[in-house]
Amino acid sequence: MTDRHFNVLFLCTGNSARSVIAECVLNRLGKGRFSACSAGSQPKGEVHPLALHLLKRQNYPIEELRSKSWDEFSGADSPVLDFVFTLCDSAAAETCPAWPGQPMTAHWGLADPAAATGSDTEKHLAFADTLRMLTQRIDIFINLPITSLDRLTLQQRLDDIGQSK
């Protein structure tokens, strides 16, 4: 293991579900080695109630969670970012700000659970499936030998993670 600490930003357009869930998962699984934040290009202004419900049921701290603009992470006084992951196709297609630290980026696209239709059970299952997929991807990510991989190999691994189901 390395003593190196990494800052990670998860992006979605609305920053109300996927990116917030990813932030929570990485902060738990990568505690001490990774610090995660989330943001959106057009934040909804609130975290989706079903995301909060799921995270609370899984014993994630939710008191500090909020939907916020990616502008908070692009200024001169922003934390230096090591990685930026887009989780929705809309955010991946947008022109992103210049992030401090020239972070590595990858697209880990997932369906938006907030767009799920059907019964309440089906909507809850969409959020649970998002949590499962993000947990799997983040677990793979935190177990990469980041400091021993050259930049091109690391980029390929990050891209491959985005293809996992």
pLDDT in tens, 79-126: 899 999 999 876 556 677 778 788 999 999 999 999 999 999 999 999
The rounded distance, in Å, linking the Cα atoms of 75 and 85 is 18
* In-domain check, residue 109: yes
Point out the residues of the chain with pLDDT beneath 70: 1-2, 90-94
Q: Is 87:106 a contact under the CB 8 Å cutoff? A: no
* In-domain check, residue 105: yes
With tokens 């996927």, the residue in question is 18
Q: Which residues pair with 40 in a beta bridge?
A: 12, 69
Say which residues have a Cβ less than 8 Å from residue 99's Cβ, sequence separation at least 6.
9, 73, 74, 78, 81, 84
* In-domain check, residue 139: yes
Neighbours of 76 (CB within 10 A): 5
The rounded distance, in Å, linking the Cα atoms of 68 and 82 is 19
* In-domain check, residue 164: no
Residue 91: what pLDDT? 56
* pTM for this predicted structure: 0.93
SS3 (DSSP) at 83? strand
* In-domain check, residue 165: no
* In-domain check, residue 124: yes
With tokens 């502008």, the residue in question is 71
The CATH number of the domain holding residue 63 is 3.40.50.2300
With vertex at residue 48, the alpha carbon angle to CA 44 and CA 49, rounded to the nearest 5 degrees, is: 145
Catalytic residue among 96, 125, 142, 144: 96
Residue 90: what pLDDT? 64
Residue 96: what pLDDT? 74
> Is 37 among the catalytic positions?
no
Q: Which of 76, 17, 9, 61 is nearest to 39 (CA)?
A: 9
Catalytic residue among 12, 25, 84, 91: 12
* In-domain check, residue 1: no
* In-domain check, residue 127: yes
> Is 88 among the catalytic positions?
yes
In angstroms, the Cα distances linking 46 to 52, 68, 91, 125, 155 are: 10, 8, 18, 21, 32
Q: How many domains does the chain have?
A: 1
Catalytic residue among 88, 91, 92, 106: 88
Residue 164: what pLDDT? 83
Q: Which residues pair with 73 in a beta bridge?
A: none
The parent domain of residue 89 ranges over 6-158
